[in-house]
């Protein structure tokens, strides 16, 4: 089946050699209705999932076979969580953008096997290292809807993307970002968690400035910039009157953009690479002197009060009445105060603190997500837990005197020898674990082999890796297919073939 | 005091100018009143009777004392005895003693002294000032004063006639009959009133009596204008008349298509009815509605007993619930959804704006509409619109004007010719909606502005309450054409809509005073005219508007300041409203519990769980017609008694054209 797809894929590449976008799943007949704007009664949103490629942050974990989007979280690819989330919001026409053609092929293969019957998914491949902004630029000609919902492919969350879309629609905003409370990172071992958290707290924060109603974004600086001086726009501060600066929120990479604005920005600023670090701060910075609305667009959206002379007089009056009736945001006030200056709104949706939202963008995050999905946020995993708060697949074989603690997962066909102890760990499918093995706070992926007497703490063992006897690992990562020789004791190491 | 108040002495003197301005010849009525009215009788009768008159003016004249700026010092000495508040209390005592026989006189006197003393202004004013101190004592010691019943009896009749003449000379022929009719109606209960305690002018029973009489008159009028009377789609008064009609229609038509149509018409009519009148204390119906509902709603725990018939829901999680459902609501068009969201979040306020936003959304929805196969456009579209409307109601109860607009739209759909193709039908509907917005709202506003501006003269002090877009247009236009006037904006918590108005007026260079409704009785003293917006006006002339309006109107009435209501005719409603309980809307209770800029989270938390505490955030109140001097509408300036005429003569044609 895969070879067949490869063939069509190669065929397609030949035809559109210089086009960065490759459609893998759908043949041309199917494609046409998909890229048209969605049917009229539905909301006018297109969804783009940025699934990334082989992220260097996750170096030993990702491999040719496993791009970032397919990293297993509780034995399911992380992308499936995003797809499920969108599906639960009834968003079924999706565009998945993957960096690199190999990765696109792999991701496309997985999607077609997993959910072709439920969702209409387009997989588009873009060149590697173009950044999120570049990726969007590459697929720009496929965006037709009025608003674009952009979701990062590595999010594990239960926040409805509809909430972002609704906020966006309600305010008629140029961009709406979703912020959520900073996730707790570090292994949550009972009791001793406090001290470790301190050490592992990330060094960089997102500095976010909100207006007093907490609906508009006045300032945003992402982690990287913070070490330098940060500058605020005086005009924005004056117009808003009051600004609340927070560092306990993180940008969770779910955005709603107005398509016209997004495309305008990408056209005007070819140097922009990243949505989060370039596009969003730019839009926030320029919200009171907006260049992104050319005149015709201002007419297009007459509801928001950018009335133009060439409009009919009555329309002007009615839009005036409408805009007068709205609670004046500081944009309006600023607009009315000076000569006609165009503004755009940058809104935020702040997720409830009880909601779960984590991005899988580092090894630590990978561990955290795995831990949470079978632990605190287990409603996300979609599995039903046993009475002991763990999931042991019926086909898994446990030796005598082996204990599998709560918040554990044992995939199908795995074998665990005698006198083993598994705590707060995820063990993939068809793993073979010898006797007298201790696995704590770790992730063992499919088909791994662990010899007798091993001790694994806080580590990730990738698929097909092999641990020989009496290996002790602490905070280590073992690349896929790597063989760790017997008797070693390792701490904080990364095992990868050079 | 401050220089800007200087020129205001002039309008103060010409307070009765309200009437003169309407009348073509201002000379005739004025002497007429001062001669025949009880004012004359009082002033001539004794010094005693003078004293209460002084008293009654006193609240008007005390506060800023701009008239007496020159002889302020001389005045300051004698006056110290009663502060204005003490004064009022005494006054109230008097009233109870006198069985309220002052009251009608009061209403007259309030207007008459300036007219009679107008030319004397300063001296007479100070004269009153001197007399005032002992007048209270005097009147207290002579409980029966100089008033006899006959004077009191004549007074209201007189004033009524005055209003009537004012309105007739307004130049509208239709108004003549209307006011004539209403006068005969209105004087009847007045007479009843005299026999009873006159003090409680506004007691509920009396108002009801008036309104019943008016309704009877209206019913009679309806009987005369028979043919159309049946077509009113409001349930109670017209139901018996309504039902036979479609039956009559049915046998006449023979073709099956139009028969089906007639059935559908009847069905739609039935669907029309419950729109605004869902009783939320009716358990079974609420449950039924809940099953259909789109917005997830939890009923609030501490319901206000008196308002159980209105929807009372927890506010907190409505918006998140709805917004997370954004993509799952297939049945709701996104434009409608957006409007609903904005209503729910309170982003959009003001009746005209809400109505326009809704109509625009419907326009968009109709544009995107395609008839499903095997279905009739008329029926399917009506069902769709009904779905949208019920969604909007769940987001926020409709205002009366929106109800009217929806009825208009449904009528338009109903009247579509059967042979029209779908694109044509859609185009015609959209253009009809556009026409409605243009003619009934925007053009109407322009006409109202033109009319109302004639009532603003140089040096006046205009008071407005809250925020009304028509009033804003009037004020801006008057400023544009060079009228010199000052604006007092009265506002109230929790929405503080007046601030929007204030900001815009000040940036345009108008002279504004901003105050809250607590101070309305203070500020009313310097006001010469009150302009109010309206959410709706009912057939009995009751004004239905933002809560607090009644208070402002009544204070204005007590100070004899004319109250002018600006309202587009599409907001008129053929129902009769007697109180503000039956039909109202409850806002977010937290809005009144939480004071902004004060950190009272802990405080409100403890309050939330208290069973003995209920927050009541009413959105509207009703102002009886008697406190309204004039209604400026797109059909001209009319007295509140003429509302049924407009509804009968104009609106019906619009609705069933």
Write down the ipTM of this complex: 0.72
pLDDT band of residue B4 (cuts 50, 70, 90) is very low
Whether residue A169 and residue B338 make contact (CB cut-off 8 A), yes or no, is: yes
Structural domain includes residue B456: yes
Residue in B326, B372, B467, B546 to test binding to A, most A beta-carbons within 10 Å: B326
**Interchain contact A354–B (C-beta under 8 A):** no
Q: Is A415 on the interface with B (CB under 8 A)?
A: no
> Do residue B423 and residue B476 come from a single domain?
no
Based on the fold, state whether residues B307 and B410 are members of the same structural domain: yes
Q: How confident is the model at residue A335 (pLDDT cuts 50, 70, 90)?
A: low
Report how far residue B593's alpha carbon sits from residue B214's, in angstroms, rounded to the nearest whole number: 40
Pairing of strands A147-152, A249-258: antiparallel
Q: Does A41 touch chain B (CB under 8 A)?
A: yes
Mean per-residue pLDDT for A68-83? 84
- Give the strand pairing for A207-210 and A217-221: antiparallel
Do B328 and B353 fall into the same domain? yes
Binned at pLDDT 50, 70 and 90, residue B67 comes out as very low
Interface touch A328/B357, C-beta < 8 Å = no
Band (B251; pLDDT cuts 50, 70, 90): very low
Q: Given a cut of 60, is residue B656 above it in pLDDT?
A: no
Give domain status of residue B34, yes or no. Answer: no
pLDDT at residue B517 greater than cutoff 60:
yes
Which of A 294-313 lie inside 8 A of B, CB atoms?
303
Question: B156: exposed, middle or buried (C-beta count within 10 Å: 0-12, 13-18, 19+)?
Answer: buried
The region, left, alpha or beta by phi > 0 then psi within -120 to 50, assigned to residue B615 is beta
Asked if A43's CB is within 8 angstroms of B337's CB, the reply is yes
Q: State the pLDDT at residue B262.
A: 54
Most confidently modeled range among A321-325, B276-280, B288-292, B560-564: B560-564
State the pTM of this model.
Answer: 0.65
Q: Is A166 on the interface with B (CB under 8 A)?
A: yes
Q: Are residues B397 and B526 in the same domain?
A: no
Whether residue B508 has pLDDT greater than 90: no
- What residues of chain A lie within 8 A of the CB of B504, using their CB? 324, 336
In A88-165, at which residue ranges do the beta strands (DSSP E only) sit? 93-99, 120-126, 147-152, 155-157
Chain A positions touching B343 (Cβ under 8 A) are none
Comparing CB atoms, the residue among A44, A161, A317 nearest residue B442 is: A317
The chain A residue lying nearest B497, using CA atoms, is A327
Secondary structure (H, E, C), A215-246: CEEEEEECHHHHHCCCCCCHHHHHHHCCCEEE
- Are residues B450 and B421 part of one domain? no
Exposure of A255 in the CB half-sphere (CA atoms within 13 A) = 26
Task: For B110, list phi and psi in degrees, rounded to 5.
Answer: -50, -40
Reported as a single tens digit per residue, the pLDDT across A120-143 is 888 888 887 778 888 888 888 888
How would residue B557 be classed by pLDDT, with cut points 50, 70 and 90?
Answer: very high
Q: Which of A133-137, B145-149, B323-327 has the lowest mean pLDDT?
A: B145-149
Q: Average per-residue pLDDT in chain B? A: 67
Q: How far is B325 from chain A (nearest CA, A)?
A: 6
Judge: B334–A162 Cβ closer than 8 Å, yes or no: no
* B399 and B415 assigned to the same domain: yes
What's the gap in Å between the CA of A481 and the closest CA on chain B? Answer: 43
- Pair B371, B465 in one domain: no
Which residue from A261, A247, A474, A416 is spatially nearest to A347, judged by alpha carbons? A261
In this prediction, residue B48 has a pLDDT band, given cuts at 50, 70 and 90, of very low
Whole-number percent of chain B with pLDDT over 70: 50
Judgement on whether residues B436 and B462 belong to the same structural domain of the protein: no
| Full residue range of the structural domain in which residue B567 is found | 446-592+610-654
Residue with tokens 């309704």: B215
Q: Which of A47, A214, A318, A329 to mutate to test the interface with B (most CBs of B within 10 A)?
A: A318
Closest A-chain CA to B317: A352
Q: Which residues contact A327 (CB under 8 A, 6 or more apart)?
A: B346, B347, B349, B500
* Average pLDDT of the residues of chain A: 73
Do residue B382 and residue B451 come from a single domain? no
Residues B351 and B308 in one domain: yes
CA distance A322 to chain B (A): 5
Q: What's the confidence (pLDDT) of residue A226?
A: 59
**B363 belongs to a structural domain:** yes
How far lies A141's CA from each of A20, A145, A297, in Å?
Answer: 11, 11, 18
pLDDT in tens, B264-282: 555 555 444 444 456 666 6
Write the residue in A91, A161, A166 that is nearest to B341 by C-beta. A166
CATH number of the domain within which B467 lies: 3.40.50.10470
Q: What is the mean pLDDT of residues A21-45?
A: 43
SS3 (DSSP) at A373: helix
Same structural domain, B346 and B473? no
Q: Does A271 touch chain B (CB under 8 A)?
A: no
Pick the last residue of a domain from B377, B405, B440: B440
C-alpha distance from residue B591 to each of B342, B596, B607, B615 (Å): 17, 9, 13, 9
Residue A44 in contact with partner chain B when CB distance is under 8 A:
yes
Judge: A352–B345 Cβ closer than 8 Å, yes or no.
no
**For range A308-327, the mean pLDDT:** 54
Top pLDDT among B442 and B112 is at B442
CB contact under 8 A, B500 and A328: yes
Looking at chain A, which residue has its C-alpha nearest residue B361? A303
CB A305 within 8 A of CB A363: no
Are residues B320 and A163, on separate chains, in Cβ contact within 8 Å?
A: yes
Q: Which pLDDT tens digit goes with each residue over B353-406?
A: 888 889 989 988 888 888 888 888 888 888 888 888 888 888 888 888 888 888
Has residue B100 been placed in a domain? no
Q: List b or e across B515-542, with b for residues whose CB sees 16 or more CB atoms inside 10 angstroms.
A: eebeebbebbbbbbbbbbbbbbbbbbbb
Measure CB to CB from residue B323 to each of A162, A322, A336 and give the nearest one. Answer: A162
- The yes-or-no verdict on residue A444 having pLDDT over 70 is yes
In angstroms, the CA A263 to CA A273 distance is 14
Q: Which residues of A touch B338 (CB under 8 A)?
A: 169-170
Name the residue facing B327 among A43, A328, A336 (closest C-beta).
A43
Q: Does A89 touch chain B (CB under 8 A)?
A: yes
Does a structural domain hold residue B498?
yes
Q: Does A400 touch chain B (CB under 8 A)?
A: no
Q: Domain containing B343 — which CATH number?
A: 1.20.120.420
* Sign of the Cα pseudo-torsion (B110, B116, B119, B124, in order): negative
Domain boundary among B440, B469, B500: B440
Q: Which of B440, B467, B494 corresponds to the end of one domain?
A: B440
Q: Does the beta-carbon distance from A41 to B324 stay under 8 Å?
A: no
Distance CA B7, CA A496 (A): 91
Within this chain, do residues B315 and B367 fall inside the same structural domain, yes or no?
Answer: yes
Please state the domain count of chain B.
2
Strand ranges, E, within B485-619: 485-491, 511-516, 529-533, 536-538, 543-546, 563-566, 572-573
In a domain, B275, yes or no: no
């Amino acid at each position: 089946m895969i070879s067949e797809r490869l063939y069509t894929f190669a065929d397609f590449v030949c035809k559109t050699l210089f086009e960065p976008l490759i459609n893998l799943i759908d043949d041309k007949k199917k494609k046409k209705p998909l890229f048209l704007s969605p049917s009229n009664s539905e909301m006018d949103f297109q969804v783009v999932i940025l699934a990334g490629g082989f992220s260097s942050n996750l170096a030993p974990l990702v491999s040719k076979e496993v791009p970032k989007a397919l990293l297993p979280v509780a034995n399911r690819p992380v992308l499936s969580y995003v797809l499920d989330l969108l599906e639960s919001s009834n968003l079924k026409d999706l565009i998945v953008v993957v960096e690199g053609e190999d990765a696109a092929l792999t991701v496309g293969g997985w999607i077609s096997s997993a959910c072709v019957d439920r969702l209409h998914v387009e997989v588009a491949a873009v060149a590697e290292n173009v950044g999120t902004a570049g990726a969007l630029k590459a697929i720009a000609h496929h965006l037709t809807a009025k608003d674009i919902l952009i979701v990062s492919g590595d999010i594990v969350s239960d926040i409805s993307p509809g909430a972002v879309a609704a906020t966006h629609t309600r305010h008629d905003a140029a961009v709406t970002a979703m912020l959520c409370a900073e996730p707790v990172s570090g292994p949550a071992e009972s009791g001793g968690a406090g001290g470790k958290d301190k050490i592992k707290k990330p060094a960089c924060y997102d500095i976010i400035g909100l207006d007093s109603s907490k609906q508009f974004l006045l300032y945003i600086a992402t982690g990287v910039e913070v070490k330098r001086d940060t500058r605020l726009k005086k005009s924005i501060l004056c117009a808003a009157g009051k600004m609340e600066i927070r560092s306990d929120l993180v940008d969770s990479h779910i955005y709603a953009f107005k398509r016209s604005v997004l495309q305008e920005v990408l056209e005007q600023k070819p140097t922009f690479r990243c949505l989060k670090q370039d596009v969003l701060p730019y839009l926030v910075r320029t919200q009171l002197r907006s260049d992104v609305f050319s005149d015709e667009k201002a007419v297009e959206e007459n509801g928001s009060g950018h009335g133009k002379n060439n409009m009919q007089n009555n329309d002007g009056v009615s839009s005036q009445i409408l805009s007068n009736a709205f609670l004046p945001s500081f944009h309006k006030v600023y607009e009315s105060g000076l000569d006609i200056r165009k503004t755009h709104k940058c809104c935020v949706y702040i997720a409830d603190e009880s909601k779960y939202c984590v991005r899988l963008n580092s090894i630590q995050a990978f561990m955290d997500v795995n831990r949470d999905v079978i632990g605190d946020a287990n409603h996300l995993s979609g599995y039903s837990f046993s009475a002991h708060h763990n999931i042991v697949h019926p086909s898994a074989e446990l030796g005598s005197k082996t204990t599998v603690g709560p918040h554990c997962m044992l995939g199908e066909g795995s074998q665990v020898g005698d006198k083993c102890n598994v705590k707060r760990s995820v063990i993939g499918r068809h793993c073979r674990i010898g006797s007298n093995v201790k696995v704590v706070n770790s992730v063992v992926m499919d088909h791994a082999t662990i010899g007798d007497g091993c001790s694994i703490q806080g580590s990730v063992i990738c698929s097909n890796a092999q641990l020989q006897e009496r290996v002790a690992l602490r905070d280590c990562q073992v690349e896929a297919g790597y063989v760790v020789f017997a008797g070693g004791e390792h701490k904080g190491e990364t095992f990868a073939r050079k | 005091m401050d220089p800007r108040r200087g020129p205001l002495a002039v309008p103060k003197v010409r307070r009765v100018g309200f009437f003169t301005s309407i009348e073509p010849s201002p000379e005739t009525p004025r002497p007429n009143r001062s001669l025949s009215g009880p004012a004359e009788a009082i002033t001539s009768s004794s010094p005693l009777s003078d004293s209460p008159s002084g008293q009654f003016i006193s609240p008007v004249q005390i506060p800023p004392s701009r008239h007496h700026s020159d002889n302020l010092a001389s005045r300051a000495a004698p006056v110290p005895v009663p502060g204005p508040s003490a004064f009022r209390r005494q006054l109230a005592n008097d009233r109870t003693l006198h069985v309220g026989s002052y009251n009608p006189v009061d209403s007259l006197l309030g207007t008459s002294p300036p007219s009679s003393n107008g030319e004397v202004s300063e001296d007479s004013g100070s004269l009153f000032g001197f007399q005032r101190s002992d007048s209270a004592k005097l009147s207290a010691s002579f409980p029966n004063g100089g008033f006899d019943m006959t004077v009191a009896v004549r007074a209201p009749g007189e004033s009524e006639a005055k209003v009537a003449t004012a309105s007739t000379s307004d130049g509208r022929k239709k108004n003549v009959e209307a006011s004539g009719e209403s006068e005969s109606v209105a004087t009847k209960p007045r007479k009843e009133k005299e026999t009873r305690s006159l003090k409680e002018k506004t007691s509920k029973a009396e108002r009801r009596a008036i309104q019943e009489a008016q309704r009877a008159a209206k019913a009679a009028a309806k009987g005369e204008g028979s043919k159309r009377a049946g077509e009113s789609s409001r349930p109670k008064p017209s139901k018996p008349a309504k039902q036979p009609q479609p039956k009559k229609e049915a046998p006449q038509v023979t073709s099956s298509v139009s028969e089906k149509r007639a059935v559908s018409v009847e069905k739609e009519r039935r669907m029309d009815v419950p729109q605004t009148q869902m009783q939320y204390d009716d358990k079974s119906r609420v449950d039924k509605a809940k099953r259909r509902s789109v917005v997830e709603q939890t009923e609030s725990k501490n319901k206000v007993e008196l308002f159980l018939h209105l929807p009372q829901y927890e506010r907190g999680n409505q918006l998140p619930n709805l917004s997370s459902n954004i993509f799952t609501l297939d049945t709701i068009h996104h434009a409608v959804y957006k409007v609903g969201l904005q209503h729910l979040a309170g982003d959009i306020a003001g009746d005209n704006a809400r109505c326009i936003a809704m109509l625009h959304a419907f326009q968009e929805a109709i544009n995107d509409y395609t008839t499903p196969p095997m279905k009739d456009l008329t029926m399917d579209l009506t069902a769709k619109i009904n779905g949208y409307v019920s969604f909007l109601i769940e987001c926020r109860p409709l205002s009366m004007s929106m109800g009217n607009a929806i009825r208009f739209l449904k009528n338009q759909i109903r009247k579509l010719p059967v042979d029209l193709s779908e694109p044509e039908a859609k185009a015609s509907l959209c253009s009809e909606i556009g026409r409605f917005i243009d003619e009934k709202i925007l053009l109407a506003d322009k006409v109202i502005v033109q009319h109302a501006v004639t009532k603003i003269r140089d040096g006046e002090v205009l008071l407005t309450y809250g925020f009304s877009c028509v009033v804003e247009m009037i004020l801006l236009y008057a400023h544009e054409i060079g009228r010199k006037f000052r604006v007092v904006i009265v506002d109230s918590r929790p929405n503080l809509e007046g601030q929007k108005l204030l900001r815009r007026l000040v940036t345009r260079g108008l002279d504004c005073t901003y105050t809250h409704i607590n101070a309305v009785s203070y500020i009313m003293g310097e006001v010469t005219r009150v302009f109010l917006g309206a959410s709706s006006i009912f057939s009995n002339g009751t004004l239905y508007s933002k809560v607090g309006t009644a208070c402002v109107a009544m204070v204005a009435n007590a100070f004899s300041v004319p109250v002018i209501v600006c309202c587009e005719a599409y907001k008129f409603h053929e129902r009769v409203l007697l109180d503000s309980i039956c039909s109202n809307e409850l806002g977010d209770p937290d809005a009144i519990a939480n004071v902004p800029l004060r950190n009272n989270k802990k405080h409100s938390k403890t309050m939330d769980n208290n069973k003995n505490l209920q927050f009541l955030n009413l959105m509207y109140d009703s102002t009886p017609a008697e406190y309204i001097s004039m209604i400026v509408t797109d059909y001209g300036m009319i007295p509140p008694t003429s509302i049924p005429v407009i509804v009968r003569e104009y609106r019906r044609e619009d609705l069933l054209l």
